[in-house]
Amino acid sequence: MRIALVAGEASGDILGAGLIKALKQRCPDLQFEGIGGPLMLEQGMTSFFPMERLSVMGLVEVLGRFRELLGIRNQLRDRWLDNPPDILIGIDAPDFNLPLERRLRESGVTTCHYVSPSVWAWREGRVKKIARSVDLMLCLLPFEKAFYDRHDVDARFIGHTLADDIAMQPDTNAARVELELDAEARWVAMLPGSRGGEVERLAPVFLDTARWLLEREPDLRFVVPAANQERYQQLEAMVADSGLSIRLIHGKSRQVMQAADAVLMASGTASLEGMLLKKPMVVAYKLAPLTHAIASRMLKIRYMSLPNLLADAPLVPEFLQDQVTPEAVGQALLNQLTDQQHHDQTVQRFTELHQQLRLNASEKAASAILELIDSAKSAC
């Protein structure tokens, strides 16, 4: 039996590798082909193109590589139309994968998409395209399945691999030892994003927030992980200009959050990691003005951070655009650091959400896919 997979970035490679491993445990003779990264290749997959060719972010970058991306997709399409796999699994990368899935599904190939696009947040009309493209949607979050149920799209909530990977009771002291941070100090982690534009917009406010906090709590210490070498150099220059004593660390964002007493971060997957690490946090985000003007008219959700979306309640203070000021963000962080009752309630709620997501996602995904393949064969 041949299984085709297409992953477009590092997070998809992690998901794909876990899925392949779980499938092989059930059916050792399975063959895997398509596009994957080093982790998927380690599991025995044959990749027809380097995954890095699909790892493109931003409208301008996509337009600059459009012909190449279209050519890769067309080659995959023609290969699998000529020699159909038993199933095609697109892992995230919806703009690349959904048209490919739709074309193969129209030809009779069973299709599955792993990681729902954020149709529940904006551009809800895309669900019609998804319904035409996939036989099954694998959802990492429970409210995603509820959304697809309302639109009569077959979906399965499988839990989140991060919830499987992160311990229910993370060891703060162990992280401090690993990072060589003072075990007795109170540490605030600041994560202003992984992209240059995010850091440019958020880091200055985060640094001003640190200064505001130090005026009130002089014993606080601050640590910032840099996503890559470019971000490290960018942050290093900003920290130097600020005159503040900030500990910069190459990568290791999870360990940095684990070591902290509270976290200030840009909205994104990091907020889910922070929740799973049971860390009090404040989420802030600033978009480019034009992007915000467009997005604010299209968003259909009350919250932007994943902990709040999962709880459907304001567990985490959120600040957006002009709300992101040192005074507002600083006061919210100070509350997180000093209100012990609130801290205990937050940790309890985060623990409940962690348990809700901790379902052994790779195993659940493998079971769902094999059931889908068996169902398709029975229908023939």
What are 49's two structure tokens?
A: 């193109």
Between 292 and 26, the more confident residue is 26
Domain ranges of the chain: 2-159+359-379, 172-357
Token pair for 267 = 């909205």
**Per-residue burial over 313-348, b = 16 or more CB atoms within 10 Å of its CB, e = otherwise:** eebbbbbeeeebebebbbbbbbebbeeeeebeebee
Mean pLDDT of the chain: 91
At which residue do the structure tokens 């992160």 appear?
166
- The model's confidence at residue 58, banded by pLDDT at 50, 70 and 90, is very low
8 A C-beta contact, residue 158 and residue 364? yes
Query: Tokens in use for 63?
Result: 């337009």
Q: Decide if pLDDT at 82 tops 50.
A: yes
Give pLDDT, residue 227.
87
DSSP of 216-282? H-TTEEEEEEESSHHHHHHHHHHHHHHT---EEEES-HHHHHHH-SEEEEESSHHHHHHHHTT--EE
pLDDT at residue 377, rounded to an integer: 79
- Residue 315, both tokens: 């567990």
On the question of pLDDT at 79 being above 80, the answer is: yes
- pLDDT category of residue 57 using cuts at 50, 70 and 90: very low
Can you give the pTM of this predicted structure? 0.86
Write out pLDDT tens, residues 236-291.
Answer: 999 999 999 999 999 999 999 999 999 999 987 899 999 999 999 999 987 656 55
73 has a pLDDT exceeding 80:
yes
Query: Token match 């669900």: residue?
Result: 127
In the numeric block, which tokens belong to residue 307?
A: 């902990």
Categorize the per-residue pLDDT at 298 as very low, low, confident or very high, splitting at 50, 70 and 90.
low
pLDDT at 61: 47
Give yes or no for a contact between 22 and 52, defined as CB atoms under 8 angstroms apart: no
pLDDT band at 60 (very low <50, low <70, confident <90, very high): very low
CA gap 336, 177 in Å, rounded: 24
CA quadruple 299, 302, 308, 310: dihedral sign? negative
| Selection from 120-124, 154-158, 192-196 with the highest mean pLDDT | 154-158
| pLDDT score recorded for residue 154 | 97
How far apart (Å, rounded) are the C-alpha atoms in residues 75 and 35?
12
172-357 under CATH 3.40.50.2000, yes or no: yes
Q: Which long-range contacts (CB under 8 A, 24 or more apart) does 235-238 make?
A: 235/192, 235/199, 235/203, 238/199, 238/203, 238/204, 238/207
Q: What are phi and psi of 151, to 5 degrees?
A: -105, 15
Q: What is the CA radius of gyration of the chain?
A: 22
Between 379 and 294, where is the model more confident? 379
Length of the chain: 380
Percent of the chain with pLDDT over 70: 92
What pLDDT does residue 77 have?
Answer: 97
Between 25 and 67, the higher pLDDT residue = 25
Are the beta carbons of 51 and 7 closer than 8 angstroms?
Answer: yes
Question: Looking at domain 2-159+359-379, which of 3.30.420.10, 3.30.365.10, 3.10.580.20, 3.40.50.2000 is its CATH number?
Answer: 3.40.50.2000
DSSP track, 164-192: HHS-SS--HHHHHHHHT--TTSEEEEEE-
Is residue 62 pLDDT above 60, yes or no? no
Q: Is the pLDDT of residue 53 over 70?
A: yes
What is the pLDDT, as a whole number, of residue 63? 54
Task: Evaluate whether 2-159+359-379 and 172-357 have a shared fold.
Answer: yes
Q: Which three-class secondary structure state does DSSP give residue 215?
A: helix
**Parallel/antiparallel/unpaired status of strands 220-226 and 136-139:** unpaired
Tell me the pLDDT band of 191, cut-offs 50, 70 and 90.
Answer: very high
Tell which residue, 190, 187, 165, 167, has the closest CA to residue 176: 187
